[in-house]
Amino acid sequence: MKDTGQVIIPKRAETQAKMDERSAVANRVCPDAAYTIADRWQERVDKHGNHPFLLYGDQSHSYRDVDCRANQVARAALAMGLTAGDVCAMALENRPDFYHVWFGLVKVGVVIAFLNTQVSGNALKHAISASGARAVIVGEECAHHFSAAEGLQGLQLWLLPDEEKPANSTDLECLDEAFYQAINTASAEPVDAQLRASITAESPAILIYTSGTTGLPKAAIYSHMRWLSSGDVMEVSIKADQRDVFYCFLPLYHGAAATSVTSTALSAGATIVLRRKFSVRRFWDDVCDYQITVCQYIGEICRYLLNFYDNAPMHSLRCIVGAGLNEHTWQQWITKFGQMDIYEGWGATEANTNLLNMDNYPGSCGRIPDWSKTNLRLVRFDLERNEYLRDEQGYLIPCEAGEIGEALGYIISSPDMGGGRFEGYTSAEATEQKILRNVFQQGDSFWRSGDLLKFDDNGYFYFVDRLGDTFRWKSENVSTQEVAIALGDAEGIELINVYGVQVPGHEGRAGMAAIVMQKGCGFDPEAFYTLTAKKLPDYAAPQFLRLCQSADLTSTFKLRKIDLQKQGYDPELCQEPIYIRDSRAKSYLPYDELLLQALGLSAIEADA
């Protein structure tokens, strides 16, 4: 790879040693090795059979307990006609059955697509179609999404009951109970590993969905090799071992919980405390009751906990791992809850590069002391023109310290190593859209992150923002185009322009929509709320509305958003009516400071 000239004098000599160790571990699993997640799982069962793998409420499931149920799932999958290489989707909330199904299917070489349990309608249909799934295992808690979905006729939908969240009989009519019955009657003895003999480390293992600029979910491919390597690298980074207890309350269909938590815990032979969803009231109780030592976070969770608690009890938490923690919140966390290691990182589900702060340097998401030992590059980007800056030869220009640029990952194509590969999506078109070619020289190729970062004189990196129309709210990527399409058929609306606006004290951006009504039509806030609740998950529904007299269009009839985003929902900057989404009133209410304070606009819905 061409040397782009980005040179930094290391501030801490040990950082490069840590990076070298991580790099060596990342390439421990060879691409063509007959070694999969199922093989790693079996090794841990053989070594830690009686050790707790899952703690769920008052239940304790050992490695061997989970393995026995997974064996039954594997046999049931075979009985239902699934074989190595097939894709099976699953829609399950955080409960032990998620792992039973996951590890059972990998035992027979089946690729698993993790469906977002909040997605419904056309987005759900598209997600299933994009995966190429032969069947979908549907948790009873998600039955209503499938009952209401159109265009799923002919697809095998297998029910997995849920005693905690039973569905009504109407929602269950479209689901087949044969798979669940096959599980309960199957033997718990291990299946023959030869059933997955055709599967190698570089074969696809799971599909995790990520929002794209098209507005519909894209299925990112995760190979066995990349999943295993991520866990091995994190185990070394945080010095995890069998004594650790990981706290998992983020949804398992997300990359953070499915990879960072699960792969690291499995690599270390550790225990996972599984919670259905985040509970602010139970957080420190859970930490103390289960003696949790490692917690995966997103920045909003940390801020939510800081606002809720004055201090923490004596606890066992030794480190937290995640993204979205700025320097101010970082310092508050340590001051209020005590000293612990914070591993702030940067990356993406489909990323072929990443960063991890291993120095406890507040606010940073990682450090690069030597550019020759990383495939990450930061290039200049013109935000106003929405294009890359180029030199006289037409190549992209590397950023210098202090400059904001887009992060790119050099794509390494080597049959002997997995590091630096871009595994892409199930859609070849979507994969190609994320690749930049001839970046620094003819013939090179880079993965485009869509993220803006910067670094200081000591090589510490900081996340700045997302490029384009996709923004993050409540830890989810939201596509403005998807929201606009979903709400575009609202009665009386002539035009809707969706964008993200900054909310003080919150990570990411909240959705806001500028609406132009048809002549002679009035805005109905209750009807619009009902439409958002019907068409969109909570996190994607616009939190603010602005009723405009006319649309701000370019000469090519493209919607302008820059000025709207700068004005946000500030009534002093917006000389037009502003509304706030209130789920209690099931309506959009006129802007009011007291209403804004009462709602809090929390990015994490807590089980209080």
Task: Quick: pLDDT tens for 345-372.
Answer: 999 999 999 999 999 999 999 999 999 9
Q: Are 159 and 169 in contact (CB under 8 A)?
A: no
Is 147 in the same domain as 213? Answer: yes
From residue 274, give the alpha-carbon distance in Å to each of 54, 301, 417: 7, 16, 33
339 in a structural domain:
yes
Token duo for residue 258? 């499915």
Interatomic CA distance for residues 262 and 228, integer angstroms: 10
Beta bridge partners of 582: 587
pLDDT at 14 over 60: no
Is 441 in the same domain as 579? Answer: no
Is 230 in the same domain as 330? Answer: yes
What torsion, rounded to 10 degrees, do the Cα atoms 239, 241, 245, 248 define? 70
Instruction: Tell which of 289, 324, 356 closes a domain.
Output: 356
State the pLDDT at residue 550.
75
Is 391 in the same domain as 339? Answer: no
Domain count, the chain: 3
502 in a structural domain:
yes
Other Cβ atoms less than 10 A from the Cβ of 185: the count is 11
pLDDT at 28 over 50: yes
Task: Point out the least confidently predicted range of 143-157, 204-218, 288-302, 373-387.
Answer: 204-218
pLDDT at 257 over 90: yes
**CATH number for the domain including 241?**
3.40.50.12780
pLDDT digits (tens, 9 = 90+) for 319-347: 999 998 888 889 989 999 999 999 999 99
Q: What angle do CA 117, 214, 587 make, to 5 degrees?
A: 60
**pLDDT-derived band of residue 604, with 50, 70 and 90 as boundaries?**
very low
pLDDT at 173 over 70: yes
Q: What is the 3-state secondary structure (H, E, C) of 100-122?
A: HHHHHHHHCCCEEEECCCCCCHH
Average pLDDT, the chain: 88
Is 462 in the same domain as 475? Answer: no
Is 457 in the same domain as 561? Answer: no
Interatomic CA distance for residues 118 and 116, integer angstroms: 5
485 in a structural domain:
yes
From residue 89, give the alpha-carbon distance in Å to each of 72, 92, 133, 304, 490: 18, 10, 6, 33, 32
4 in a structural domain:
no
30 in a structural domain:
yes
Interatomic CA distance for residues 586 and 59, integer angstroms: 37
569 in a structural domain:
yes
Q: Are 106 and 36 in contact (CB under 8 A)?
A: yes
Helix segments in 341-380, DSSP class H: none
Q: Where would I find the beta strands (DSSP E) of 263-303?
A: 271-274, 294-298
From residue 504, give the alpha-carbon distance in Å to each of 98, 404, 567: 36, 21, 14
pLDDT at 38 over 90: yes
**pLDDT-derived band of residue 5, with 50, 70 and 90 as boundaries?**
very low
pLDDT digits (tens, 9 = 90+) for 213-253: 345 779 999 999 999 999 999 999 999 999 999 999 999 99
Is 461 in the same domain as 484? Answer: no
Is 337 in the same domain as 294? Answer: yes
User: CB-side exposure of 443: number of CA atoms within 13 Å?
Assistant: 3
Residue linked to tokens 């009807």:
527
Is 22 in the same domain as 54? Answer: yes
Sign, CA torsion 444/449/452/453: negative
pLDDT at 296 over 50: yes
362 in a structural domain:
no
User: Is the pTM here over 0.95, yes or no?
Assistant: no
pLDDT at 158 over 80: yes
pLDDT digits (tens, 9 = 90+) for 546-563: 998 876 653 333 466 777
State the pLDDT at residue 497.
87
Residues whose CB falls within 8 Å of the CB of residue 224, separated by 6 or more in sequence, listed in order: 29, 35, 36, 37, 199, 200, 201, 202, 203, 205
**CATH number for the domain including 493?**
3.30.300.30
Interatomic CA distance for residues 47 and 61, integer angstroms: 15
8 in a structural domain:
no
Whole domain around residue 529: which residue ranges?
Answer: 470-599
Token duo for residue 486? 């979903």
Closest by Cα among 56, 96, 40 to 73? 96
Is 345 in the same domain as 481? Answer: no
Interatomic CA distance for residues 57 and 471, integer angstroms: 34
State the pLDDT at residue 568.
86
Q: Are 169 and 140 in contact (CB under 8 A)?
A: no
Most confident of the following: 293-297, 485-489, 568-572? 293-297
Interatomic CA distance for residues 352 and 354, integer angstroms: 7
**CATH number for the domain including 463?**
2.30.38
From residue 33, give the alpha-carbon distance in Å to each of 262, 266, 415, 420: 22, 19, 11, 18
Token duo for residue 208? 């995790």
State the pLDDT at residue 215.
57
Arithmetic mean of pLDDT, 453-459 = 95
Report the run of H or E that residue 32 belongs to, with start and end.
none
Is 298 in the same domain as 315? Answer: yes
Interatomic CA distance for residues 367 and 380, integer angstroms: 19
Helix segments in 86-220, DSSP class H: 96-107, 121-131, 143-148, 169-172, 178-185
Is 524 in the same domain as 383? Answer: no
- Burial letters for 385-418: b for 16+ Cβ neighbours within 10 Å, e otherwise? eeebeeeeeebbbbbeeeebbbbbbbbbeeeebb
